[in-house]
Amino acid sequence: METLFNKNSHSKPLIIAGPCSIETPEQLDNTVQELVSQGINLIRGGVWKPRTRPGSFEGLGSIALPWIQEIKNKYPVKFAIEVASAQHVEEALAHEIDILWVGARSTVNPFTVQEIAESLKGVNIPVMIKNPVNPDLSLWIGAVERFQKIGIQDLAVIHRGFSNFRDQIHRNSPLWQIPIEFRTHFPDLMMINDPSHISGKRDLVPIIAQKALDLNFDGLIIESHCNPDQAWSDAAQQLTPKNLEFMLSQLKTRKVKFEAAEMLNQLAEIRSQIDQADHDLLEALHRRMQLVEKIGEYKKLNNVAVLQMERWKEIFDSRPKWGESLGLNPELIQEIFGILHQESIRTQTEILDKIESNN
């Protein structure tokens, strides 16, 4: 059985594009016409739009489905929409929608995922599953497993970033380590990146898209609108089809397999150096934790509180600056030392408990 999301059948990254929301027949037609002229034949469009707060535009709903059918009769395209309930699925199938996706606000709820999955039992249709809003790998894995269990074979996942109130750059933090970890569980599933929802700003879309391709993502799903500044939703992150065409022409795909012996040898040498650097890091971490144990014992013997806020503030302020002077990302250094601090507190507390239990 031929499947859309078969990794081996695509020599180039899969591109899905279209408006955040379907607004009018004219808007949909104009956008699709321009995208088709670029060779894009997988179109996305919002019919039902679950929004965070009431009052936002939540899609036209069922009224837009016949417009999609008219577009499919006019242009050689397949159409993808988001569904959030069994009723949505029923209406989508009745209007011959080609591809369904489960949104981030649905993936976070196992009951909703199960309802949508069961409504597709016995149906042969491609399904894409977005990561949940919150950075919970298990929820994402569980959603895929629910669809696999009811027999959906043609599956892909979409990485659209995660809510993070601390991120001042992205609309949704990419947290690249989560999709990378996900791929270790499902190496054969296509993983598609959504740079529009990660960036929230159209000037960041190319940067996120290139990063995804550098990490060997299998495709991109991008919001494109014939007049994005007048869009009824997500105006700031949508590209005109013309700008999308230019962006795609500038993106570079990386080699996945190395064939030349010389290249393989160079790669092996660099990896060996990385292994040694990692070993050195672990030895340094071991030395640091030994010192943490010593200071924990000293604090106990001298009746000093484990948590010293002035010292922690000094570390939290100075280490990112040290890292930045070495060309390292200060936000990364903050995160690393935040984890180290938590482990230091845990270690010192354990020492305190052990000493008290021996007395």
CATH number of the domain to which 81 belongs = 3.20.20.70
Asked whether residue 314 is assigned to any structural domain, the reply reads: yes
Q: Do 271 and 224 have their domain in common?
A: no
Residue 213 shares a structural domain with residue 97:
yes
Residue 101 in domain: yes
**Entry pTM:** 0.76
DSSP 76-101: S-EEEEEE-SHHHHHHHHHTT--EEE
Q: Which DSSP category does 275 fall into?
A: H
Q: How many CA atoms lie within 13 A of 173 on its CB side?
A: 13
Q: Mind listing the pLDDT tens digit of every residue in the chain (359 residues)?
A: 578 999 888 889 999 999 999 999 999 999 999 999 999 999 999 999 887 777 778 889 999 999 999 999 999 999 999 999 999 999 999 999 999 999 999 999 999 999 999 999 999 999 999 999 999 999 999 999 999 999 999 999 999 999 987 788 899 999 998 999 999 899 999 999 999 999 999 999 999 999 999 988 999 999 999 999 999 999 999 999 999 999 999 999 865 555 556 666 777 778 888 888 898 899 999 988 888 888 888 877 777 777 777 888 888 889 999 999 999 999 899 889 888 888 888 887 887 666 666 65
**CB of 71 closer than 8 Å to CB of 42:** no
Measure the CA angle with vertex 32, ends 22 and 119; round to 5°: 55
- CB neighbour class for 75 (10 Å; exposed up to 12, middle 13-18, buried from 19): middle
Q: Considering 192, 220, 250, which residue would you say is the last residue of a domain?
A: 250
**146 is a domain residue:** yes
Contact (CB, 8 A) for 202 and 239: yes
Give residue for tokens 């059948």: 9
Claim to verify: residue 222 and residue 275 sit in the same structural domain: no
Domain shared by 236 and 191, yes or no: yes
Whether 255 is covered by a domain: the verdict is: no
Same domain, 130 and 211: yes
149 and 214 together in one domain: yes
Claim to verify: residue 207 and residue 268 sit in the same structural domain:
no
- Choosing from 250, 285, 309, the residue where a domain stops is 250
Rounded distance between C-alpha atoms, residue 61 and residue 348, angstroms: 57
| Amino acid code (one letter) for 335 | E
Instruction: Say how far apart CA 133 and CA 162 lie, in whole Å.
Output: 5
Residue located via tokens 């990112």: 320
Query: Are β-strands 127-130 and 155-159 bridged in parallel, bridged antiparallel, or unpaired?
Result: parallel
Instruction: Tell me: do 130 and 168 sit in the same domain.
Output: yes
What torsion, rounded to 10 degrees, do the Cα atoms 24, 30, 36, 40 define?
-60
Answer yes or no: is 217 within a domain. yes
Domain assignment of residue 2, yes or no: no
Q: Verify that 99 and 220 share a domain, yes or no.
A: yes
Domain assignment present for 69: yes
Q: 162 with 308, same domain?
A: no
Same domain, yes or no: 267 and 244: no
CATH number of the domain residue 301 falls in:
1.20.59.10
Range of the domain at 20: 7-250
DSSP-assigned beta bridge partners for residue 128: 101, 156
What per-residue confidence (pLDDT) applies to 11?
82
Say if 332 falls within a structural domain. yes
- Counting the structural domains of the chain, the total is 2
Are residues 344 and 243 part of one domain? no
Asked which of 196, 228, 250 is the last residue of a domain, the reply is: 250
